[in-house]
Every structure is written in C-alpha cells, then in structure tokens.
Structure 1
Amino acid sequence: MSSPLRVASYNVNGIRAAQRRGFEQWLARRDPDVVALQEVRCPVDQVPEGVFGHLHATYEPGQIPGRNGVAVLTREPPAAVRTWSGQAWAIPSRLGPGGPHTPGGDGTQPGEGSRLDTPFATLARGISRYADEGRYVEVDLADRPLTVASLYLPKGGLPVELQKPGRMREAPDGGVKHERKLHFMDALARHVTRSRKAARDAGREFLLMGDLNIAHLTHDVRNWRRSHQAEGFLPVEREWIDTLIGPRTLVDVLRRQVGEVDGPYSWWSWMGQAFTNDVGWRIDYHLATPGLARTAVAAGVDREPSYEERVSDHAPVVVDYDLGGWTT
C-alpha cells in the first residue's frame, strides 16, 4: 500500500532567514514529497547549500533584488517547467541523483543551479506585466499525472476612498497598489483557467498553491468584524476568490477538510501578541482540481509551538493526498 503524497505550501519570508530559524529541521521532520515556496527572496548563487535537503528545487527568482521569488521542490526533477518569464533555475538535491556529493546530470554540484528555458506557449492577457517579478512557477511532476504551481500574489493596498492619512502605516498612494493588485488578479484568473484546462487536456490534475494575500471567509480572519476595510479582506478581493473556486474548477482543500470553523490561520504579524493569541489570517492555500481534492485525507497548518520557534511570519499548509496507484 503506497503512502499518501505529502504536499506543502510555505511562504518562508526569505530562505536565508528561514534556514537560520529552522526551515531545514521542519523539512526533515515533515518529509514532504512536494513543497511550493514563496518569498524565497534570494539570488540563485546565494541560496544556502543543502537547504532543500533531498528535494530538487525549481526556482524562479525574478528580477527584483531582495523581493518575491517562488519555487517548487520535488523528489524527482520535474518532467516540465513553465514560468511567465520563460526562465528558471534547477537546483539539484543535496544527495544528487546517485547519492551524497554526486554531481547532477548536467554537471552541476549539489546546491548549484543550472538555468532552464521554461516558456509558456503564450501568456494570458495582462500577465506579461508581471513576468519578471518572480511570482509564478509551474511544474509537471515526473512520477504523478499532476501539475503543481507556486504563486505569490501581491499584497496590494487600500482603494483611494479608504486611504486616510494618519490612520495608515504607509503613505497614501492614491490607490495605485490596490489597482495594481486588481489588475494582477484579473490576469491571473485567465492564466489559471488556461493552466487548469491544459493540465486536464494532458490527463493531469492541477494544484495551485501559495500566498494569495487574501482571506476568503470570515472563518479566515480572527478579527474579521474589524477587517472589512483592510487590504486582503476587501469585498472585491473576497469576491474574486469566489470566481476562482467552484465544484467543477478549483477546490479550497483545507477549508473542505476542516469545515466551517475559525482558522486554522497561516499568517500572524510579528508585532505584539498576535501569534501568542492566535490573532491570524488564513491567506495560504491549496486550490486543487476536484479529482485531486477528493483524494485529500489530511490537512492542516504547521503552527509552531511558540513565538521563539517561528521560522516565518507564515506557517506551512500541509495536505496528504492519497493517490493510491495513480502514477504516470
């Protein structure tokens, strides 16, 4: 009897800082088969050696120094890779294909990266504006009929009518960040529809994971009554998620598994007692095609026991999918 496929989504808030705080220990303890990372925020040549353990990394760092960066970690090098920029980096596992300290098949050493050409045939309308930001990478698993994507959606900002000087942490921007986020969401919806259908036509399920910077339901925000005019919980943002998910398109796997309960949250501010008092938001998702969603047997958030043990301001969302004998 085969073991479930363990899949995690994790905004690490900088892989170098996450390594110092215990990312490698989490990876070894949970032993996932697939991990989608967001906010890796590290040049390829500065990714800590061995930080991804026995997993192969497909990394799209983007072109904005110190920001963004998404990756998908897999046990085997993926069968195919696609990014909006048309480029990504393959970082082989610590073990390499033949054991410890074995060079990769392309001559690279474990921890080094080799450049990949990874274009989509065409980009959905509006996506090219964000192609160099390191916000999306998509891979076809080599050992399962499954396409996995890692996404980091912009945080955004408040619409101009809600911007009140003196009541904002940032200076008013006339709604520029809010409008940019809405444009990104509109383009992303078209892209996700294309990728989901392309996976279906290739006989694959589709799984979109990542930090959407939007909480969908009142169950997803601890203090939701005070958050209706906060970025990430605006009606227009929540309604957009309504259009993204559905019984025939994509399923919010964690919410389906846990039911209509408060939380579990996946992000807490570093400030004050937010983490200690579990005053959080659920903004990290597994959005799966219905066939894949039906195989989920366990789902949860790996919230650390204490503030001092936190690896990131996010916690990983982990789902076990019991695919049985479902292989390519």
Structure 2
Amino acid sequence: MDAAPLRVASFNVNGIRAAQRRGFEAWLAQRRPDVVGLQEMRCTPEQVPAGVFDGYHVAFHPGGLAGRNGVALLTTVAPSAIRMGFGHRSDPEGRYVEADLDLPGLALRVGSVYVPKGATWAGPDADPAKYRRKASFLASLGAHLRRSRLEAAASGREFLVMGDFNIAPTRADLRNWRSNQRSEGFLPQEREWFASILGPRTLHDVVRRLHPDAEGPYSWWSWLGQSFARDVGWRIDHQLATPGLARRALAAGVDRASSPEARMSDHAPVVVDYAVPSSG
C-alpha cells in the first residue's frame, strides 16, 4: 500500500516577516507540506517571527547582507546533513542551502536556491556587472547541481533543487514574451543555461512535466498596476527533480491568491505532491 504523498513547496516569501503578516502561517498550516524551500527570508534567525515554523526542523542560511536574500529549508524530519552555499563567491549572501533527508520511504537530497535577478546586456537598462554576476552564479550552480546529484545517486538518494531561479525557460513561461526578449530572466543565454541542466537522465522540470501544454502556471507577478489581476506573470520558480522522483509527481501547481489583496508575496508557492512507497 502506498503512503500519503510527499508534499513539497517552494516559495519566495519576499521577506518572511511581511509574508507572516499577510497569512503565511495560515497557508503553511492549511497546506501542511513535508518539505518547504523558502527564498528571500530577508532577516536574521533572531528576527524570524516566533512560532511561525513550529513543527518543522529549520535549515536557514541567512547570509550576511542585512535585509536581503536568505534561504531556508523546513522539513518534518531532522536532516542528517546540512550544507550552506556551494563554493561560489556569492556563498556569504545566503543564496543556497542543501540538506539530506531520510523520509519514510524516500532518501532525498534537497536544495533551496535564490538566483540573482541579473540584468540585460544591451539597451538603456543594461548593467554589465549584474549580467556577469548572474552568469557566474549560474555557471557555478550548474556544476554544483551535477556534482551533488551524482553524489546523491551514489548514496542511494534522489535529488531535488527548488527555488527562485529568476529564469522563465520558454515562451509558455511568461505572458509577454515578445516584449521581454532582451529582459533579464528571459535572455537567450539564461534559457540556454536552464535547458542545459535538464535532461532525461539528469533533472526534470516537474511542473512542466505535468503541464506540458499550459501557459504558465505563473509564479510571479509585479506588485505594480494590474499585473496580478490580468495574470500577466512569469514562471520563474521551479522544482527540478531526478528522473525517479519526477516520475512520482502526482500533482503540481501554484497556490495563486484569490485576489491581489490576499497575496503573501509577489511570488506564489509552487507545490508538488510526490507518491512515496510505504516504508512498512
């Protein structure tokens, strides 16, 4: 008999204290994920609202930039190992945390990542330094994902990396793709990098695997104007899993708020349920 599905959520909270005021704790209690990857915590461990993560083990890499970045993993079982960063010069910024989990029926290595937004390389908004910074981060991240995935496989673990990649991989992943072809997040180089880390034997884009023909589902909308009301969004938050785990995905989607006023963040949680065999 199969056990209850493993629910995994990834959420850029855009400040956990602000998200808490907007309903994060109620969402967490209602959805009850087993594993949660959070990005843009934007606080120190001492500033996390009291009780917000009750019932979870917390692996938190706050970084050293006050009020910026910070990633975390919430898990219902204690990790057997935690790693912060992956050997890139951005490690002190708090952009990657990884843990090994021995869940009922599943040995898993999981990472939460917050990729820099970057910038375009041409036009009035060009910022070559930011563009190069993101490119450097992606090159190092790609090498780490390969290395960590292989290490996980050697120890009998599936591998999952989730978070805010700040990349919409295809035209189906943002509403206004025609006008954004020179915008950060949809640059050809960024999309080529994203495609390079996916493959039949490497990592699968789990949401796209279950929704191959859908527009979106989008996970980010600007706070400005009518972007959310008109669903003018981007799919930049992803769960990427090794083939064995990806095949177990039962349902995947985005917890889009019912109204602009009900939003917890400018992002929405990306939630996937995975079938896990009973350990008994």
TM-score between the two structures when normalised by the length of structure 2? 0.97
Q: Take 2:30 and 2:54, find their aligned partners in 1: how far apart are those partners?
A: 11
Q: Take 2:273 and 2:161, find their aligned partners in 1: how far apart are those partners?
A: 15
AA at the equivalent of 1:316: P
Q: Does 1:242 align with 2:202?
A: no
Q: Does 1:78 align with 2:31?
A: no
Please list the CA deviations of residues 175-216 of structure 1 after superposition, one character each: whole Å capped at 9, or x if unmatched. Answer: 110011101111111111110001000100000000000000
Please list the CA deviations of residues 224-263 of structure 1 after superposition, one character each: whole Å capped at 9, or x if unmatched. Answer: 1111011100000000011011111000000000112211
Identical amino acids, percent of aligned pairs: 58
3-state SS in 2 of match to 1:17: helix
Q: Does 1:228 align with 2:181?
A: yes
Q: Which residue of 2 aligns with 1:303?
A: 256
Q: How does 1:158-307 map to 2 (within 5 A)?
A: 158-159=120-121, 162-164=122-124, 168=125, 173=127, 175-307=128-260
Q: Take 1:227 and 1:274, find their aligned partners in 2: how far apart are those partners?
A: 15
Q: Take 1:216 and 1:74, find their aligned partners in 2: how far apart are those partners?
A: 28
Q: Does 1:138 align with 2:138?
A: no
What runs of 5+ residues in structure 1 fail to find an aligned partner? 85-122
Q: Which residue of 1 aligns with 2:22?
A: 21
Please list the CA deviations of residues 143-195 of structure 1 after superposition, one character each: whole Å capped at 9, or x if unmatched. Answer: 23001100000000111xx131xxx4xxx54x110011101111111111110
3-state SS in 2 of match to 1:128: coil
Shift in Å at residue 317 of structure 1? Answer: 0.3
3-state SS in 2 of match to 1:3: coil
3-state SS in 1 of match to 2:98: strand
Shift in Å at residue 3 of structure 1? Answer: 0.4
Q: Take 1:312 and 1:242, find their aligned partners in 2: how far apart are those partners?
A: 27
Which sits farther off after the overlay, 289-298 or 54-63?
54-63
CA-based RMSD: 1.1
Q: Decide whether the 8 Å contact of 2:88 with 2:140 is kept in 1.
A: no
Shift in Å at residue 137 of structure 1? Answer: 0.4
Q: Decide whether the 8 Å contact of 1:266 with 1:283 is kept in 2.
A: yes
AA at the equivalent of 1:220: D
Q: Take 1:324 and 1:300, find their aligned partners in 2: how far apart are those partners?
A: 22
In structure 2, do the counterparts of structure 1 residues 300 and 152 end up closer, same or farther at CA, with 3 Å as the change threshold?
same
Q: Take 2:226 and 2:57, find their aligned partners in 1: how far apart are those partners?
A: 37
Greater relative CO, 1 or 2 (CA 8 Å, sep 6+):
2
Question: Runs of at least 4 residues of structure 1 off by over 3 A?
Answer: none
Q: Take 2:258 and 2:279, find their aligned partners in 1: how far apart are those partners?
A: 35
Count of residues in Structure 1 that have an aligned counterpart in Structure 2: 277
Q: Does 1:49 align with 2:53?
A: no
Q: Which residue of 2 aligns with 1:155?
A: 117
Shift in Å at residue 326 of structure 1? Answer: 5.4
Q: Take 2:187 and 2:120, find their aligned partners in 1: how far apart are those partners?
A: 9
Shift in Å at residue 128 of structure 1? Answer: 3.1
AA at the equivalent of 2:221: W
3-state SS in 1 of match to 2:160: strand
Q: Does 1:8 align with 2:30?
A: no
Bigger Rg over Cα: 1
Q: Take 1:40 and 1:326, find their aligned partners in 2: how far apart are those partners?
A: 34
